[in-house]
Amino acid sequence: MKGLAGTGIKRPVILSLISIAYIAAPLVNIALLRIFTGLPMSLLMPRVVASYGLVASLWLATAPLVGIGFYFVKAASWYIFVGHSGVILADYAFKWITRPSYYLGSIGSLYHLDMLAGNLLLIAVVGYVARKNFRAPYFQALPRSWRESTRVPIHQRIFVNGESRKTTDMSGAGCFVEDPESALGIGDRPSLRFHADKLAIECKGEVMRRVQTGCGIRFIALRSPQRRAITLMLRKRFPLRYEANVACVWWWNGAARAATVRNVSAGGCYIQAGIHDLAEGAQGELIIDDLGQTLAAKVIWINAAGMDEKPMGFGCLFSRKQLGLVRILKQRYGTLALTR
């Protein structure tokens, strides 16, 4: 399968250049010192340790570890980068605060200012590239809310190059498509089509990650209003709910239907029931005799085909928040598993 060897990640050219820069950093610094001081190597290295200090000498010597970590795009590489950058800045700050005159005169103030500016610029550029190109779960190091739109676990159909596939999570930035047999490889740009509620999205995508179970795809050229519409749709249609298995009666249009509440939140629930002649927007009552509850609700989604790993039924929205219902369910049935 193209682009798949365990876990595959698209590595942009700029990240390879940054890796090379970190690996070459000690040699470049020594070469610059040689030019600025004119000292032979036998005298230069002791001077470097004496003027830089032990901490600075260590972070200079360990810079290649950051470059190697970034190249392999492992979770630890982000922590190594953050720790290494923090040591650099802390070392500079400590020296300037405690011994400014010595630090300015040890090798030359211009060189030190150049070094400080260069390191600050490098940290900013590398941090930006890592944040932009390698969101969770690639580094899996920082909270997703810090680095990307929050991925919402869902089970929904999406069309990839015209073929129906299942997406298991989605955000305004992209989605994960479950497709073990797909020929898509990292860097491929399939066409995407997604429909949910009244939302219809059609755009290009780019495969950023490939694993045995499928691929992570980011949306390309998706306008901001469309991204916001996806986020709103996910929040509206896929809120976290508590799994349940509670017998109930759905009273609608003068008739009662035996049903089962399969998941519930304070705002609504999913009901397993027959859906003959039921329509979206229908107003009815949910009667749960076992809990002593009668709740006014409106049908907002009909699942006639048993899609999204749910039995045939419908989703309904309560006329007002029902925090008490969730509390009673927890008291009656204990800890309830969360689902979407």
Residue 324: which CATH number?
Answer: 2.40.10.220
C-beta neighbour count of 283 within 10 angstroms: 12
pLDDT more than 70, % of the chain: 78
Check whether 253 has a pLDDT greater than 50. yes
How long a stretch of residues is the chain?
Answer: 340
Reported pTM? 0.45
Buried b (16+ CB within 10 A) or exposed e, 4-33: beeebbbbeeebeebbebbbebeeebeeeb
Domain count, the chain: 3
208 and 257 together in one domain: no
- Which residues of the chain form beta strands (DSSP E)? 8-9, 152-160, 163-170, 174-178, 191-196, 199-211, 214-220, 241-252, 255-264, 268-272, 283-288, 293-303, 313-318, 338-339
Cβ contact 22:61 at 8 Å: no
192 and 298 together in one domain: no
- Kindly state the average pLDDT of the residues 117-140: 63
Query: Which domain covers residue 155, as residue numbers?
Result: 149-236
Q: Does the residue 128 lie in any domain?
A: yes
Q: In the chain, count H helices and then E strands.
A: 10, 14
33 and 79 together in one domain: yes
Q: What is the pLDDT of residue 11?
A: 63
Q: Does the residue 142 lie in any domain?
A: no
- Kindly state the average pLDDT of the residues 213-225: 85
The predicted-structure confidence for 259-268, as pLDDT tens digits, reads as follows 999 988 888 8
Range with lowest mean pLDDT among 69-83, 200-214, 305-319: 69-83
Amino acid type, 224:
S
Domain boundary residue among 236, 270, 296? 236
Cβ contact 250:284 at 8 Å: yes
Q: Which residues pair with 160 in a beta bridge?
A: 163, 192
Check whether 132 has a pLDDT greater than 90. no
254 and 230 together in one domain: no
Q: Does the residue 143 lie in any domain?
A: no
- Which residues of 100-162 form beta strands (DSSP E)? 152-160
Residue corresponding to tokens 């040591």? 87
**CB half-sphere exposure, 272, CA atoms < 13 A:** 14
Q: Does the residue 123 lie in any domain?
A: yes
Q: How confident is the model at residue 249 (pLDDT cuts 50, 70, 90)?
A: very high
Domain boundary residue among 175, 204, 236? 236
Q: What is the pLDDT of residue 1?
A: 37
Q: What is the pLDDT of residue 251?
A: 92
Q: Which residues pair with 218 in a beta bridge?
A: 174, 206
The predicted-structure confidence for 279-316, as pLDDT tens digits, reads as follows 888 999 999 888 888 899 999 888 887 776 788 999 88
